[in-house]
């Protein structure tokens, strides 16, 4: 997976490649789909959510220029796979998931793998985690029509935010860098498809909206 799906598509950062090699994607997909864990595509994980294609996760981490010692926020943790990969590079990772059931399962996986520098919380990703910021990098694994202001304000000066922006059919993966107290620069990286970024929290005993 690392060689064929990631390195051969141009992701050559040794830290990123090593992190993907360390984290077993099989541990983050439903048991019934384990045989497809290393396929080149997303997979359903329950609650209407998916685990992203490995290459897209790598592309986002590369675009965010995540480095050793960074404090990173991931919005839309899902199964916890991307957060786990990030935790093998960054100093500290916080991941937000609005579905309590998914967040609970992700925490169990982190504990089982011994990834103790990654904290998964249930919460509203649109609000970020202001009490833990600022962050050197923020990665958003869900699409939006615009960049949430709360997340822009939680990037450290010099920090990077990567988020898919656009409508339902296709989005542009956008990299935003905070260049000053009230200044940001942005550029689009690639066309992608993600589930929507939604507010509020979905408790374990309540079905998500159709």
Contacting residues for 204 by C-beta, under 8 A, at least 6 apart: 99, 100, 101, 104
Is residue 52 flagged as an active site residue?
A: yes
C-alpha to C-alpha distance for 147 and 104, rounded to whole angstroms: 27
From the candidates 52, 79, 87, 101, give the one annotated as an active-site residue: 52
The β-bridge partners of 161 are: 138, 176
The β-bridge partners of 150 are: none
Confirm if 128 and 154 have CB atoms less than 8 A apart: yes
- Catalytically annotated residues: 52
């Amino acid at each position: 997976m690392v060689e064929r799906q990631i390195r051969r598509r141009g992701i050559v950062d040794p830290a990123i490649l090593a992190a993907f090699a360390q984290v077993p994607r099989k541990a983050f997909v439903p048991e019934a789909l384990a045989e497809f864990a290393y396929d080149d595509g997303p997979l359903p994980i329950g609650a209407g959510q998916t685990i992203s294609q490995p290459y897209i996760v790598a592309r986002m981490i590369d675009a965010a220029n995540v480095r050793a010692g960074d404090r990173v926020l991931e919005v839309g943790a899902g199964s916890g796979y991307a957060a786990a990969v990030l935790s093998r590079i960054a100093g500290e990772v916080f991941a937000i998931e609005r579905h309590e059931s998914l967040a609970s399962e992700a925490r169990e996986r982190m504990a089982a793998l011994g990834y103790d520098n990654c904290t998964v919380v249930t919460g509203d990703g649109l609000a970020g985690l202001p009490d833990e910021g600022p962050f050197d990098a923020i990665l958003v694994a869900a699409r939006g029509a615009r960049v949430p202001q709360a997340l822009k304000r939680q990037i450290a000066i010099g920090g990077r935010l990567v988020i898919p922006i656009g409508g339902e059919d296709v989005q542009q993966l956008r990299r935003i860098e905070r260049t000053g107290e009230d200044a940001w620069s942005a550029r689009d990286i690639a066309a992608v498809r993600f589930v929507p970024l939604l507010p509020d929290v979905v408790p374990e005993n309540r079905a998500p909206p159709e």
